[in-house]
Chain A
Amino acid sequence: MTATNWVTRVVSALLALALLLGSLLAVVEIVAAALGRDHVLVPYPRWTDWLRTHSWNDRIVEALLGGLVVLGLLLLLLALHRGKPASLALRSRTDGVDVTASRRSLQKSLAAAAARTTGVTGASASVGRRSARVDARTVSRSEPGIREEVESAVRGRLDSLGTKRRMRTRVALTTKDTR
């Protein structure tokens, strides 16, 4: 499960709980009022008084409405944000068998493939839906063809997996000053 899905799951659980408890509490207050009793937990007479004594153009009311808008936007953002995929689809060979590669392990694999290139001291990789970016650290920037070699190693790793969608690769080199 991706980080976005975890956040969505936690927010959904909290909202569901709030809606459940809030609506049940409201029912309890309605029943209590119908039986002629005072409020149980929610001081709603004070709330209704507050609403009666404040107009729409009061600063506090506007702030609350602005808060509603912001909260709505945040929920929409959470609902519509796709985030990075947990896994990438690979080309299918057998009917009824879907094969994927975990994005995190693919990142590790691409970094390892890049790090094996001569002249590279270390590498890290980031994989999205359509592209893979590798940051490789080299001893010397002037070493000819090192970028192509890293790119070839990364491309070779992606080809060996056979991703369903052809991915763009980007290699960035940083030189480690050894002086």
Chain B
Amino acid sequence: MNRRANVINRVVLTVLGLLLLTAGGLGLAVSVGALGESRADNSVLPQEVSTFPDGHPWFWWAVTGALLLIAVLALLWLLTQLKTSRTTRLDLTTNARDGYTTLHASALTDAVEDEALGITGVTNVSANVHEHRGQHLFLRVGLAESADIDEVRTRLENEVVTHLREGVTDPRFPVTIELRPGGSKTPQRSLT
């Protein structure tokens, strides 16, 4: 559920893929003599290249800098894989001068889950608050095979979402609902 990580992965893999493809392709072009017959017989590491750093003391400093930059970027890339967009707090502060108001996300998600579970045809619910370009609620709703999907949607959007938005005092609080039809034939939750 971390779209940002997926986008970053695709971009970085594309860049690395293109780099490897270009390096390998150019090397093969040299080896088959496409860039000059004589070059194909040359050593992969010619003398003038291997002795280049001897006369240029800055060379290894530059290489070290580049390697450290790669290490930092690789670390950031690695951390992206471990990050989750879920958040545990909601900032409800309207004016920082009057103080800060935060709400535990679990208080909100528990209330949303309880209300959604009360809808006929809903078998299970899980709600999470995510932080990506602002906060939004992700609601996963399991539906019984016999559920009236239209009715469930209407109640989710007109009741559950409305109450949620009242709770966070934001009439436009973004919500994503994922319906999961094809669950059990009858609702598993017993009404008490």
Where the two chains meet, the residues of A that have a C-beta atom closer than 8 Å to any C-beta of B are 1, 5, 8-9, 11-13, 15-17, 19-20, 23-24, 26-27, 30-31, 33-34, 48, 51-58, 61-62, 65-80, 87, 90, 93-102, 105-112, 157, 160-162
Contacts and interface: CB of A to CB of B under 8 A. Distances in A.
Contacts of B70: 19, 23
Interface residues of B, number: 70
Contact of A80 (B14, B67, B173): B14
B145 interface: yes
B63 A30 contact: yes
25 contacts: A12-B81, A23-B70, A24-B67, A26-B63, A27-B68, A30-B63, A31-B64, A52-B44, A57-B33, A57-B41, A68-B23, A69-B25, A71-B24, A75-B14, A78-B13, A79-B9, A95-B172, A96-B174, A98-B175, A100-B178, A105-B142, A105-B180, A105-B182, A106-B181, A109-B145
Nearest to B73: A19
Interface in B81-131: 81
A17 B80 CA distance: 12
Interface in B145-166: 145, 149-150, 153, 157-158, 161
Given A51-B45, A90-B179, A161-B181, A11 B27 contact: no
B20 A72 contact: yes
A157 B150 CA distance: 11
B13 A79 contact: yes
A87 to B, nearest CB: 6
B179 A16 contact: no
Interface string B4-35: 01100111111011111111110110111100
Interface of B: 1, 5-6, 9-14, 16-25, 27-28, 30-33, 39-45, 47, 50, 60, 63-64, 67-68, 70-71, 73-75, 77-78, 80-81, 140, 142-143, 145, 149-150, 153, 157-158, 161, 172-183
A70 B25 CA distance: 10
Contact of B71 (A24, A72, A99): A24
A76 B13 contact: yes
B173 A96 contact: yes
B180 to A, nearest CB: 4
Given A30-B64, A34-B60, A52 B78 contact: no
Q: Is the interface of B mostly helix, strand, loop or mixed?
A: helix
Given A23-B74, A79-B14, A96 B172 contact: yes
B43 A99 contact: no
A102 B40 contact: no
Contacts of A52: 43-45, 47, 50
A97 B47 CA distance: 65
Contact of A97 (B81, B177, B179, B182): B177
A8 B6 CA distance: 8
A12 B161 contact: no
Contacts of A62: 28, 31
A55 B43 contact: yes
A61 to B, nearest CB: 6
A94 B161 contact: yes
Nearest to A74: B17
A54 B68 contact: no
B184 to A, nearest CB: 10
Nearest to B1: A1
Contacts of A67: 24
